[in-house]
Chains A and B, each alone.
Chain A
């Protein structure tokens, strides 16, 4: 530990100071006598982590303030992250799979071990998240520990530095001049030409440039902290929405957990034509475009799931493509997938009197929310029941297996002349295959001889060709994520593309001593110094200013 913190120039330094805050003289007894290059990190200022006798809090602080620990954390995170890429992660599979046996069957014993170690969900595991949190902590503490002393040191720089401080910089010049006053003036003029800020006294000079670049790393770290906090904030449930909606062409569908409805006006899928493809891809279906022409509605009233007619107001419309989601006030709808299995939408059958051959209709029968009664000449059809995927249940009664119109069936009551007062039931299968499979005529018994409901031609049958799958997202953390990344990027650019350069000059009678320091790009530093010396009448090869190699 450093005991004597009072410098010979009279300045009292905090414990842990390496170079006197005022004159720059090395304070450490061992260092003081040396001739090696000085360690200029943080300008040799004392850091909080260098307190003389640390308490528990200090020890935690010291742990996280160590760059060595930070590097270890980075390396461990890096290795941990790479483990997660050996086999696919669980979340890319359907959730109802038996993952344990999947990894064993697909990747053998190694896969089984991988699964048992929890590496199949590396990035959600406690140790990985802990590592990220520790990196975040390290970012905060490392930065605070260094930026404050550095700020103080740079803010109260003394112009005239100790001789040994100058002699032990990495770029040094020593010489003599007859006219010190003129030498400094010429030197200063050239330095200003190169955009240095020059401050001087009678017998000393400090030329400084791009000090702001020193704050680059800390601004970068602030950005990363904002980013990491935003990532953690994504765990707030109300900030997140991740829903999938299935929308057949022409339908309007509720988006669960929101007030919104989305309509699929039209779905388009295009493939490249053979002449657009290179030889080896010809004959393959290479997709060119998936697009859902979508309209977004907000529900104003009657929004309940069972409400037949919610009151909707259009709020946005957009042709959603893979790289072009619909956006409305933080709600985003993405093209996720599509299905091209045709779905029956509407039939327009006629009621045929088999005895007279007379036809009544056609009438529009929609699969979804059909009308409940139809007037057809003297007859009236009342819809009693409908089934979307008709089947006979175990108790012999008709049931529906799903809400998708895969095998629709309708039971009407036919009323009219020559029929009983309360009407006679008639079951109708719009699809020919179902009509045969469930023997429509047999089910209808007697009435099948008198009436038939059937479509005239295929033009009276409407199918929906495409069903689109949209991913609906809300992520309220995103603005903070982008802000953090933007700050981080600004810091990186500040730190990487500018360099903090300083030149100290000191006159002792006729003797000139110059030391220069930069945090990177010594090549440019030496060139600046050589140019200023040249202006003051001294020709030197920039390389000759090098005071020895990097210390490792």
Chain B
């Protein structure tokens, strides 16, 4: 067994340990109800078990990271798969630190699923080790990417605690306009998480089934000298094409539920052959997310957030508010250092300028501006509690867009991670 095979096994082990860690955290919290003796003792005992299992998961994850580094010859943070797995690991590190300070098992009930989703999302991308291109061949790759990811990880833990705070404090019985609005938005947030899960499930389901469809698109280009040239591009779908790329020809399509033709065509402004594929993926994610959400609603017979709420009532909301703020206060300087300062130093070495308004740079700046607004609102304008928690939810959306959205939607110098 070589390093890379061992590394893959360690990754699978980490994934399952995280899943079990999550289940044990759930047992610790939900089980308070059916522990006939002492609920606090039950929570403490299962909380400890869950924490140990999660730390073992983190150890396996570290083993994955180190062996892949040795086997691949360079630090595994150079493509989307490697970066997202690293982000998952960084969130575990941040969670572990915050957990050691506050020792609240309920935090694990929110941080662990976040890690599981991110690690599973990472697995959607190609997993081969790709040798470094000259632009990435610098020790600043290690310094910049790891610090930025660790900063983002603390901000993500801040989001987990903030979301928990909202589920804890929102009035699920209230009739007022405000509480109705809050219930709607918290449910929208939960739904978005279900859509993310739906996306992952769909990818793996069709991958397991070996589904494939193919399109070609012919593009006529007129050069500056006025010469016309046409370029034929091919795109492979790994999900049944509900939407085909704009102005494209079907080459081949496995039939899906007896459907042998794409149903719709991407609108003309979505030019570029990959735009159609991405739109198709988004539609599938929402479809499977809706199905998943529907099933959950049928089983629970109420909204997801209302179903989770009762299990959160044993924790003091002020503590959650403080944990969320603390995680962000720890993460913000690390993020500044990694995502902005180290990024500028590297850019000044590799690209001859420290700042170039590349989309990824701009979005890192936007994230930073956003969290600095968060800190000012909190410290100077007294935005504590729910308002502060809502800000962490939006903040996490911005982080995810910076990390994933920019690569998928906007290209740029950081396009190495496109998929």
Residues of A within 8 A of B (CB): 39, 41, 67-68, 70-71, 74-75, 77-78, 81-82, 84-86, 89, 97, 107-108, 110, 122-123, 272, 276-281, 286-290, 321-325, 332, 334, 336, 471, 473, 475, 478, 481-482, 485, 488-489, 492-493, 496-497, 519-523, 543, 546, 549-552
Contacts and interface: CB of A to CB of B under 8 A. Distances in A.
Contacts of A289: 134, 137
B322 to A, nearest CB: 6
Given A67-B381, A278-B130, A492 B333 contact: yes
A530 to B, nearest CB: 15
A408 B345 CA distance: 45
Interface centre among B326, B349, B352 (most CB of A within 10 A): B352
A489 B335 CA distance: 11
Given A520-B325, A550-B384, A552-B382, A85 B352 contact: no
A272 B130 CA distance: 10
Contacts of B137: 289, 321-323
Pairs of residues from A and B, 6 with the lowest C-beta to C-beta distance, nearest first:
A278-B128, A550-B384, A323-B138, A67-B380, A322-B134, A492-B333
B102 interface: yes
A523 B319 CA distance: 8
17 contacts: A67-B381, A74-B369, A78-B370, A84-B362, A107-B269, A276-B131, A277-B130, A287-B134, A289-B134, A322-B350, A323-B137, A489-B336, A492-B332, A492-B336, A497-B330, A519-B379, A520-B329
B341 A523 contact: no
A85 B410 contact: yes
Nearest to A272: B131
A529 B130 CA distance: 55
Contacts of B381: 67-68, 71
A489 B337 contact: yes
B130 A471 contact: no
A508 to B, nearest CB: 30
Nearest to B102: A523
A165 B160 CA distance: 35
B126 interface: yes
Contact of B130 (A41, A281, A521): A281
Nearest to A524: B101
Contacts of A81: 362, 365-366, 369
Contact of B369 (A77, A334, A471): A77
Contacts of A67: 376, 380-381
B383 A543 contact: no
Given A272-B131, A322-B350, A496 B384 contact: no
A373 B4 CA distance: 66
Given A110-B269, A286-B131, A323-B138, A546 B330 contact: no
A321 B337 contact: no
B264 interface: no
A471 B352 contact: yes
A349 to B, nearest CB: 36
B97 to A, nearest CB: 12
B237 interface: no
Contacts of A549: 317-318, 385
Interface centre among A97, A322, A324 (most CB of B within 10 A): A322
Interface in B318-358: 318-319, 321-322, 325-326, 329-330, 332-333, 336-337, 341, 344-345, 348-354, 357
Given A485-B341, A496-B330, A78 B366 contact: yes
B100 interface: no
A478 B329 CA distance: 28
Interface of B: 101-102, 126, 128-131, 133-135, 137-138, 140, 224, 268-269, 316-319, 321-322, 325-326, 329-330, 332-333, 336-337, 341, 344-345, 348-354, 357, 359, 362-363, 365-366, 369-370, 372-373, 376-377, 379-387, 406, 410
A404 to B, nearest CB: 19
A111 to B, nearest CB: 9
Contacts of A473: 352-353
Contacts of A332: 352
A385 to B, nearest CB: 32
B336 A543 contact: no
Given A68-B381, A332-B352, A523-B102, A290 B134 contact: yes
A524 to B, nearest CB: 9
A550 B318 contact: yes
A374 B319 CA distance: 92
Contacts of B101: 523
B145 to A, nearest CB: 14
B349 A325 contact: yes
Nearest to B321: A550
Given A74-B376, A82-B366, A481-B354, 6 more contacts: A71-B373, A89-B357, A323-B135, A473-B353, A485-B344, A552-B386
B103 to A, nearest CB: 10
A391 B45 CA distance: 90
Contacts of B365: 81
Contact of B332 (A279, A324, A496): A496
A280 B137 CA distance: 21
Contacts of B406: 85
B129 A278 contact: yes
Contact of A522 (B322, B351, B376): B322
A521 B326 contact: yes
A485 B344 CA distance: 10
Given A85-B363, A478-B354, A549-B385, A496 B329 contact: yes
